[in-house]
Amino acid sequence: MDVFKGQNLLEFSERFKTDLDCKEYLSGIKWKEGFSCSKCGHGAAQIRKDYSRTCNICSHTESATANTLFHKVKFGVRKAFFICFEMATSTKSLSASYMGLRFGVTEKTARLFMHKVREAMESSGNNEMDGNAHVDEFVVGSVEKGKVGRSYDSKKKKAVIAVQLTDKGKVRRM
Ligand SMILES: [Zn+2]
């Protein structure tokens, strides 16, 4: 897995050309240390075309975006990546109306997603980085508690932008 570093928009858009590129990236981080089924704990899975994984024992399928900020975003993972990139690299505060225009979503959609991103950023700021940290201008990370988005299993980590991994390769924080 490669980790995106830097603030270059052209390089970023080269790296993430499609939703699939983003999913590949997320799955690379998520299962960096190998797969572990969230239902039965089994460690082997089939990798599907969209980079989701299906457990060899119980057939539970987990998508690359599950338990991340990018889960079921209506406007697509790639656009969400770009919004995160813009937020992570911009030196000024960005308004929802500006972001809506920039990324072709409604102001409301932009506001809701930006709120999730900020929440993830803030909650990660409350915890010290430790362990296996990949700290760059742009990577993918997570929050500790089930705060972001809908209610997922609170034990799971959620991925966002800059990333810290636990020993088991779970994404810990942004
Ligand atoms: Zn399983």
Reported as a pLDDT band with limits 50, 70 and 90, residue 169 is very low
Are the C-beta atoms of 51 and 1 separated by less than 8 Å? no
Q: Tell me, what's the pLDDT at 65? A: 94
- The end-to-end CA distance of the chain, in Å, is 17
pLDDT-derived band of residue 158, with 50, 70 and 90 as boundaries? very low
| Cα 48 to ligand 1 centroid, rounded to whole Å | 15
pLDDT of the residue at 126:
57
What integer best gives the mean pLDDT of the chain? 77
Ligand 1: centre distance to CA 8 (Å): 39
Cα(151) to ligand 1 centroid in Å equals 21
Q: Given this model, what pLDDT does residue 54 score?
A: 98
Q: Position of tokens 């430790």? A: 130
Would you state the pLDDT for residue 127?
54
Distance of CA 35 from the midpoint of ligand 1 (Å): 10
Q: In a 3-state reduction of DSSP, which class is residue 52?
A: coil
Residue 143: the pLDDT is 38
Which tens digits make up the pLDDT trace of 70-129? 998 999 999 999 999 999 888 888 999 999 999 999 999 999 999 998 888 777 665 544
Look at residue 122 in the predicted model and tell me its pLDDT. 76
Calculate the CA 86 to chain-centre distance: 14
Could you tell me which residue, 71 or 162, shows the higher pLDDT? 71
Rounded distance between C-alpha atoms, residue 115 and residue 82, angstroms:
15
Residue 160 has pLDDT above 70, yes or no: no
Q: Residue 3's pLDDT is what?
A: 63
- Where are any strands of DSSP class E within the chain? 45-47, 53-55, 61-62, 132-134, 163-165, 171-173
CA dist., res. 55 & res. 40, Å (int): 9
What pLDDT score was predicted for residue 125?
61
Predicted confidence (pLDDT) per residue in 11-30, tens digit: 999 999 999 999 999 999 89
Q: Residue 16 C-alpha to ligand 1 middle, in angstroms? A: 30
- Whole-number pLDDT of residue 167: 42
Q: Quick count: other Cβ atoms within 10 Å of Cβ 140?
A: 30
> What is the structure's pLDDT at 6?
78
